[in-house]
């Protein structure tokens, strides 16, 4: 009788455990990564580019070229001196000056959008008719995925290892190095690559990058 009671109690406990709601584990989404951005500043009532501005634009162009399917937005701004209508036109002239410089650096014109915001979007909040240098700017934003370096395939990596080995040791034509290179040439990368890697590592010769 006691065994039956214990069996019934155990079954009841297991059933109640199954009925308990399971706590869902939520994985937080990955943090958003802000696209690369650069700022170019201007003298008062000017849209021409200084040497420092041109250097910044060159950096932006280099970043653009390192990204796949990227686009650039150049957004012009002004300070609060002058009329709103004049400042809107000035902000566009500044954005177009940056676009022209980017094109000279090899960025396709079709990949660049220009926006003029005039006095809107002040970097430093001021009252009206204030000549604030930080507000006279163009913001360059590069949006597009980074280009990840593609790793070498086995054949290319074997050739790189062989070239590194030949530059290091040419004394023995029948040793493990030449034999490993011969295996690579024959398509036996599983045998050739580890041997060359070990030989170069043992000799403290830097390995060629795989990517």
DSSP 146: B
- 206 has pLDDT over 50: yes
pLDDT-derived band at 16, boundaries 50, 70, 90: low
Give me the mean pLDDT over the 7-28 stretch: 48
| Backbone phi and psi for residue 145, each to the nearest 5 degrees, phi listed first | -65, 145
Q: How far is CA 185 from CA 54, 152, 164, 191, 195, in A?
A: 49, 16, 15, 11, 14
Q: Taking the mean position of all CA atoms in its chain, how far away is CA 49?
A: 27
pLDDT, tens digit, 9 for 90 and up, residues 170-188: 556 668 888 888 888 888 8
> In a 3-state reduction of DSSP, which class is residue 103?
helix
Do the beta carbons of residue 98 and residue 109 sit within 8 Å?
Answer: no
Spatial separation of the C-alpha atoms in residues 34 and 95, rounded to whole Å? 21
Q: How far is CA 155 from CA 102, 126, 169, 182, 199, in A?
A: 38, 62, 21, 12, 18
| 25 band by pLDDT with thresholds 50, 70 and 90 | very low
User: What is the 8-class DSSP label of residue 195?
Assistant: H
d(CA 118, CA 116): 6
Q: Give CA 13 to chain center in angstroms.
A: 55
- Residue 138's DSSP bridge partners are 40, 76
What is the model's pLDDT at position 196? 85
Question: What is the domain partition of the chain in residue ranges?
Answer: 37-143, 154-202
Would you state the pLDDT for residue 67? Answer: 83
Is residue 115 classed as helix, strand or coil in its secondary structure? Answer: strand
Sheet holding 112-116, edge to edge: 37-41, 137-143, 71-76, 112-116
Q: How far apart are CA 190 and CA 107, in angstroms?
A: 42
Asked if residue 22 has pLDDT above 60, the reply is: no
CATH class of 37-143: alpha beta
């Amino acid at each position: 009788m006691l065994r039956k009671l214990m069996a019934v109690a155990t079954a009841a406990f297991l059933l109640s455990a199954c009925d308990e709601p399971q706590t869902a584990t939520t994985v937080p989404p990955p943090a958003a990564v802000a696209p690369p951005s650069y700022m170019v500043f201007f003298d008062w009532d000017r849209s021409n580019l200084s040497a420092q501005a041109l250097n910044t634009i060159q950096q932006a162009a280099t970043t653009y070229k390192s990204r796949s399917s990227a686009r650039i937005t150049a957004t012009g701004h002004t300070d609060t001196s002058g009329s709103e209508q004049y400042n809107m036109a000035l902000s566009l002239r500044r954005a177009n000056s940056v676009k022209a410089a980017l094109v000279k650096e090899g960025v396709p014109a079709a990949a660049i959008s220009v926006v003029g915001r005039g006095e809107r979007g002040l970097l430093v909040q001021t009252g009206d008719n204030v000549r604030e240098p930080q507000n006279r700017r163009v913001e360059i934003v590069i949006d597009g995925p980074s280009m990840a370096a593609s790793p070498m395939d086995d054949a290319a990596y074997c050739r790189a290892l062989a070239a590194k080995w030949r530059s290091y040791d040419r004394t023995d034509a029948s040793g493990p190095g030449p034999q490993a290179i011969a295996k690579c040439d024959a398509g036996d990368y599983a045998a050739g690559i580890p041997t060359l890697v070990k030989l170069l590592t043992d000799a403290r010769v830097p390995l060629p990058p795989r990517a």
